[in-house]
Structure formats: structure tokens, C-alpha cells
Chains A and B, each alone.
Chain A
Amino acid sequence: KQEVTQIPAALSVPEGENLVLNCSFTDSAIYNLQWFRQDPGKGLTSLLLIQSSQREQTSGRLNASLDKSSGRSTLYIAASQPGDSATYLCAPEGDSNYQLIWGAGTKLIIKP
């Protein structure tokens, strides 16, 4: 059974810092991995989708990497801003049932 762990559970840093959020998964048989952002009480916004054949994806200040064999993904946020404050969730998609398995999320607070 796939298990997803996100570290740290919470992070509070001053504005401007570069950050790394970590996601590990126990079953490397995944189709892809998706990073989402969730603001309090709101829906999920897709940030980056990495196919299992890819090593990384970039969008603006965000960069996500995937090491499928070691069961790890990282989300790198450059030059953090207060507007980046949210909960970040990673979700690999199983290649047998094509369903998302969720981590518990990292709650990020960027202080002005």
C-alpha cells in the first residue's frame, strides 16, 4: 500500500528565503506526481505535474524534482513571498489504479 510522507509538517520563514519541501513515497510504481497548493478553506490549485519519465518540472519560481527509484520528490520555492503562504500537498498517482495518494501536507508561512 502506497504511503506518502511530507516533511516538514510546518515551516515558517522570513520573506525572500529559498525553500525546499520534501515528499517521500513507499511504492515507486507511480504514473506521475502532482504538487498542489491549498489556501485555508479553499480548493486545490495544481502547481506542477511530473510524469514518471521526467526528472523535474519548472513553473516560475517553483521547481519540482522527482526521483522515482528512491521514492522522493522535492518542491523548491525561490525567493519566497507572503503570498506563497498556504498548505502544499504532494500526490503521486498509482500506475495500477490511477488514483491519487495524498501526503498530509506542509503548512508554509512566509513572514513579511
Chain B
Amino acid sequence: DTEVTQTPKHLVMGMTNKKSLKCEQHMGHRAMYWYKQKAKKPPELMFVYSYEKLSINESVPSRFSPECPNSSLLNLHLHALQPEDSALYLCASTPDQTAGYGYTFGSGTRLTVV
């Protein structure tokens, strides 16, 4: 298995809802990432989980909350989002955060906040 699988592919949620995005990989990679991508812009790094240690981009608001139940699974919990949070959310993994062996990305979740 050489893929990063993201679910759901599309999500529409209200500003008072709580939802979660899921990311899974079975390549034995030890580092996983969440990126946010707005239209016609490059991806922006939100969170890094490496060997069960979380690194946060300090500009990411607290309404986004990552969770790593195990080394193959990375969730992104969403609560009280704003319309400007509508974007494509991408998950990625690498063998090791320091290995430099290249990133594998998932197909993304298209999130719309109404």
C-alpha cells in the first residue's frame, strides 16, 4: 500500500457543527502532516506529528485540533469553524520527519463552511 487515504472527500458543515477529517497510511511512515490549501495558492502547513510528538504552526486557530490515535492514523477535529476556513485540506506522510525521502499526499478533503 503506497497511498495516503483521506475521508471524507467532501464535507459541508455549519459554523456550530463539530466534524472530523480522517487520514490513514499503511506505509510505516512515522511523520504525518496536515496542510490547508486555498484556491490558487500553495499548501500551508498546519500540523506535524512525528514519533507521536505534535508540532503546531502557531498561526493555526484553536478551532482546529489534531489527534494521532496511532502511527497510521491522523485525525483533524473541527469545531466552530468560520466561512474563511473553507479550503482543501491535505494530509501527507513521510518515512521520517528528518529522512528527506519525499512526501506522499492524499487526495484531500474539500471543506465548505456555511
Chain A residues packing against B (C-beta within 8 Å): 31-32, 34, 36, 41-46, 49, 51, 89, 91, 93, 95, 98-100, 102-105
Contact = CB atoms under 8 A, between A and B. Distances in A.
B45 to A, nearest CB: 6
Contact of B43 (A34, A44, A45, A51): A44
A70 B17 CA distance: 49
B interface residue count range (under 10 / 10 to 19 / 20 to 34 / 35 or more): 20 to 34
A34 B102 contact: yes
Interface of B: 6, 41-43, 45, 48, 88, 90, 92, 97-108, 110
- DSSP class of B's interface residues: helix, strand, loop or mixed? loop
Contact of B100 (A32, A89, A91): A32
Given A89-B42, A102-B42, A34 B103 contact: yes
28 contacts: A31-B100, A32-B102, A34-B102, A34-B103, A36-B105, A41-B88, A41-B108, A41-B110, A43-B6, A43-B88, A43-B105, A43-B106, A43-B108, A44-B90, A44-B92, A44-B105, A46-B102, A46-B104, A51-B100, A89-B42, A91-B103, A98-B97, A98-B99, A98-B100, A99-B45, A99-B48, A100-B45, A102-B43
